[in-house]
Amino acid sequence: MVRLVDLSQPFSHTSPLWPYCPDISISRMHYHARNGVFTQWISAPMHVGTHADAPVHVIAGELYTHQCPLDWYYGTGVIVDIPNKGRFGNIAAEDLENATPKIEKGDIVIIHTHMHAKYSDDQEYFGYSPGLVRSAGEWLVAKGVKAVGVDQQALDHPLSTAIGPHGPGGPLLPEVNADYERETGRRVIDDYPEWEPVHRLLLGNHIMGFENVGGDIDEVLGMRVTIAGFPIRWEKGDGSMVRLVAIVDD
């Protein structure tokens, strides 16, 4: 018997947004009493909630969403636990090498750090979460995985994104950078010198990336399952919200 487990965060006008994103707007355009139908107009970035980045999102000239084969979004996968990383924790190659179930070539790897439970509109989730660092990205590429999903804000550690001293206008959250340097006695730019290296490693090697994984992920923790998370068929899209699902054969 097949059981479907939702790995998606809910979407609404109150969905948490990255610091540079415009507000989500959901307007009721038609009403039952007036029109006989209920229709809503939605304005939102595609990089909100549980979503998949297209390679072109971070690499000029790379593939758009409509050019990515559906096979990239579907396959056998594992939900691995990387616990106790805490504030600003690095998820490195050795964490993945030692994870259970064992990660195999061709897997869709879903990484569970418990951050999904803190998914909300605050800086703790977006600025202070653990995250993948370069060695993890290199390990995943060498392993030959099909896709990677994280229950955090991005495929990279937050201080390797524009939240840190990277990209136009960075850092987006200078207070987060100041907290890191005060707590560690080290400069952010020394410890996280590259802008989104894991994004570039994975997507540049056509390994799909899912961000903000959540939902009922705890129900399938430590299991090998089938994963599906399809995008909309958006011509020249830079990414897409997805309904990420674990298919469990009981």
The pLDDT score that the predictor gives to residue 19 is: 86
> 171 preceded by cis ω (within 30°)?
yes
How far apart, in whole angstroms, are the C-alpha atoms of residue 205 and residue 222?
26
Query: What are 49-100's pLDDT values in tens digits?
Result: 999 999 999 999 999 999 999 999 999 999 999 988 989 999 999 999 999 9
pLDDT tens digits, residue range 121-172? 989 999 999 999 999 999 999 999 999 999 999 999 999 999 999 988 779 9
- pLDDT for 145 equals 98
> Residue 216: what pLDDT?
98
* Maximum Cα–Cα distance across the chain: 63
The mean pLDDT of the chain is: 96
Predicted confidence at residue 112, as pLDDT, reads 97
Amino acid making up residue 163: I
CA–CA separation, 32 vs 20, rounded Å?
A: 36
Burial (0-12, 13-18, 19+ Cβ within 10 Å), 209: buried
Burial call 37-49: b when 16+ CB within 10 Å, e when fewer: eeeeeeebbbbbb
Run of H or E residues at 95: helix 93-97
What is the pLDDT averaged over residues 97-112? Answer: 97
Looking at residue 73, what is its pLDDT? 98
pLDDT confidence of residue 22: 86
Percent with pLDDT over 70 in the chain: 100
Q: What is the mean pLDDT of residues 36-45?
A: 93
Q: DSSP letter for 213, please.
A: B
Domains of the chain: 2-19+46-249 (3.50.30.50)
- Banded pLDDT at 250 (limits 50, 70, 90): confident
pLDDT value at residue 28: 87
| Contact between 13 and 24 (Cβ < 8 Å) | yes
Is there a contact between 96 and 113 (Cβ–Cβ < 8 Å)? no
